[in-house]
Amino acid sequence: MPTDECDVCIVGAGLCGMNALFVASRHLGPGQKVIVIDRRPRVGGMWVDTYPYVRLHQPHPMFTAGDIKWTLGREPSYLATKPEVLDHFAHCLRQIKQRVRVDERYGWEFESADAADDAVHIACRDGDGQPRTIRAGRLIKAYGLRVKPNDALKVSSERVRSVSPDSCDVYSGEMRDSASPVWVIGSGKTAMDTAHALITSYPGREVNMVAGSGTFFSSRDRLFPNGSRRWWAGVGLTKMAIELTRRFDGTNENELVQWYRSTYGTGPTPQAAHFMAGVLSEAENAVIAGGLNEVVMDHLVDVVDSDGSADLLLRSGARRTITPGSWIVNCTGYLISDEYQYEPYLAGDGAVLSIQPRSAIMHLTSYAAYFATHLMLLDRLNTVPLYELDLMELAEKNKTALIYAMFALAQYNLSLMSDALPSKVFREFGLDFNRWYPMPRRLSGAARFMATHHRDREHLRRTLDTVGERFGVRSGPVVTTSAAATG
How does pLDDT run across 200-231, given as a tens digit for each residue?
Answer: 999 999 999 999 999 999 999 999 999 999 99
Q: Is 448 within a domain?
A: no
Q: Is 242 within a domain?
A: no
Q: Is 100 within a domain?
A: yes
Q: Is 295 within a domain?
A: yes
Q: Determine the pLDDT at residue 2.
A: 77
Asked if pLDDT for residue 376 goes beyond 50, the answer is yes
Q: Determine the pLDDT at residue 336.
A: 56
Determine the average pLDDT of the residues in 258-269.
93
| Residue at a domain's end among 281, 304, 330 | 330
Is residue 1 very low, low, confident or very high in pLDDT (cuts 50, 70, 90)? low
Asked if pLDDT for residue 169 goes beyond 80, the answer is yes
Q: Can you tell me whether residue 106 is helix, strand or coil?
A: strand
Q: Is 445 within a domain?
A: no
Report the sign of the C-alpha dihedral through residues 410, 411, 417, 421, in that order. Answer: positive
Q: Is 430 within a domain?
A: no
Q: Determine the pLDDT at residue 116.
A: 87
347 shares its domain with 318:
no
Residue 326 has, within 13 A of its CA and on its CB side, a CA count of 26
Determine the average pLDDT of the residues in 319-334.
91
197 shares its domain with 321:
yes
Determine the average pLDDT of the residues in 268-290.
90
pLDDT in tens, 101-124: 999 999 999 999 999 888 999 999
69 shares its domain with 194:
no
Closest CA to 390 of 351, 344, 347, 346: 344
CA angle 450, 250, 404 (to 5 degrees): 65
Asked if pLDDT for residue 486 goes beyond 70, the answer is no
167 shares its domain with 115:
no
138 shares its domain with 168:
no
60 shares its domain with 123:
yes
Q: Determine the pLDDT at residue 480.
A: 57
pLDDT in tens, 290-302: 999 999 999 999 9
Q: Determine the pLDDT at residue 334.
A: 59
Q: Determine the pLDDT at residue 478.
A: 85
Determine the average pLDDT of the residues in 55-65.
94
Q: Is 57 within a domain?
A: yes
Is residue 276 very low, low, confident or very high in pLDDT (cuts 50, 70, 90)? confident
pLDDT in tens, 66-107: 999 999 999 999 999 999 999 999 999 999 999 999 999 999
Closest CA to 36 of 68, 62, 11: 11
Query: 208: domain range?
Result: 161-214+269-330
63 shares its domain with 19:
yes
d(CA 236, CA 365) in angstroms, rounded, equals 20
Q: Is 246 within a domain?
A: no
CATH number of the domain bearing residue 319? 3.50.50.60
Q: Find the farthest-apart pair of alpha carbons in the chain and give their distance in angstroms, rounded.
A: 72
195 shares its domain with 132:
no
d(CA 115, CA 94) in angstroms, rounded, equals 30
Q: Determine the pLDDT at residue 337.
A: 55
- Whether residue 179 contacts residue 205, with contact meaning beta carbons closer than 8 Å, is answered with yes
Determine the average pLDDT of the residues in 332-352.
80
- Report the relative pairing of strands 327-330 and 182-185 from DSSP bridges: parallel
277 shares its domain with 375:
no
Asked if pLDDT for residue 484 goes beyond 60, the answer is no
Q: Give the alpha-carbon dihedral of 230, 231, 237, 243, to 10 degrees.
A: -130
* Total number of residues shown for the chain: 487
φ/ψ of residue 346, rounded to 5: -130, 130
Q: Determine the pLDDT at residue 126.
A: 94
pLDDT in tens, 12-56: 999 999 999 999 999 999 899 999 999 999 999 999 999 999 999
pLDDT in tens, 444-470: 889 989 999 999 999 999 999 999 999
45 shares its domain with 23:
yes
| Residue at a domain's end among 392, 423, 454 | 423
Determine the average pLDDT of the residues in 375-396.
95
109 shares its domain with 130:
yes
Per-chain mean pLDDT for the chain: 93
127 shares its domain with 171:
no
Overall domain count for the chain:
2
